[in-house]
């Protein structure tokens, strides 16, 4: 699939992996590196796609009612509530951690539910996700980044 869709496929997979769809984007990043795409292009496209997906989760929290989140997306109220104290303590800087597996999606939803500034949330989320892909491409040993 990645061979046919190229960087668009990378963008879409990274977008979906940052939503409540359970999927890891690291395998696709490794595949894109193996196919010979430029590491900087992979980092840019993956970061933008993953941030777009994170902002989808953010706006789910912003726009949805609790009943919708619980019924249709299987996001439990208690999980979102647990993040509230951390978000109140760190504010939009908590968006740096939305790349983390398991906790990233509920964190983005909680940030939206708490109506944090969307622009700052998006920019800080982008920084965190970009750093993730810089480290990922570097650790794969296929680039000259490290």
Annotated domain spans of the chain: 2-139
Are 42 and 10 in contact by the 8 Å Cβ rule? The answer is yes
What pLDDT, on a 0 to 100 scale, did the predictor assign at position 146? 47
What pLDDT, on a 0 to 100 scale, did the predictor assign at position 67? 78
Beta strand extents in the chain (DSSP E only): none
Task: Give φ, ψ of 74 to 5 degrees.
Answer: 55, 35
**Res. 46: pLDDT tops 90:** yes
Q: Give the pair of three-digit tokens for residue 9.
A: 């496929």
- pLDDT per position as a tens digit, 3-38: 788 899 999 999 999 887 777 888 899 889 888 899
Q: What percent of the chain has pLDDT over 70?
A: 92
Q: Higher pLDDT residue, 12 or 143? A: 12
**Res. 74: pLDDT tops 90:** no
Residue from 98, 99, 93 nearest 132 by CA: 99
Q: Give the pair of three-digit tokens for residue 17.
A: 């992996």
Are 118 and 67 in contact by the 8 Å Cβ rule? The answer is no
**Res. 81: pLDDT tops 80:** no
Are 128 and 57 in contact by the 8 Å Cβ rule? The answer is no
What pLDDT, on a 0 to 100 scale, did the predictor assign at position 144? 56
């Amino acid at each position: 699939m990645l061979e046919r869709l190229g960087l668009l496929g990378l963008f879409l997979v990274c977008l979906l992996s940052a939503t409540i769809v359970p999927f890891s984007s690291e395998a696709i990043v490794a595949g894109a590196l193996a196919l010979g795409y430029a590491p900087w292009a992979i980092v840019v496209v993956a970061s933008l796609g993953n941030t777009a997906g994170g902002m989808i989760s953010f706006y789910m929290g912003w726009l949805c009612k609790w009943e919708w989140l619980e019924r249709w997306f299987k996001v439990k109220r208690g999980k979102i509530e647990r993040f509230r104290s951390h978000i109140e303590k760190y504010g939009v800087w908590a968006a740096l951690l939305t790349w983390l597996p398991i906790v990233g999606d509920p964190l983005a939803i909680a940030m939206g539910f708490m109506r944090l500034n969307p622009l700052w949330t998006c920019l800080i989320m982008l920084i965190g996700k970009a750093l993730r892909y810089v480290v990922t491409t570097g650790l794969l040993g296929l680039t000259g980044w490290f």
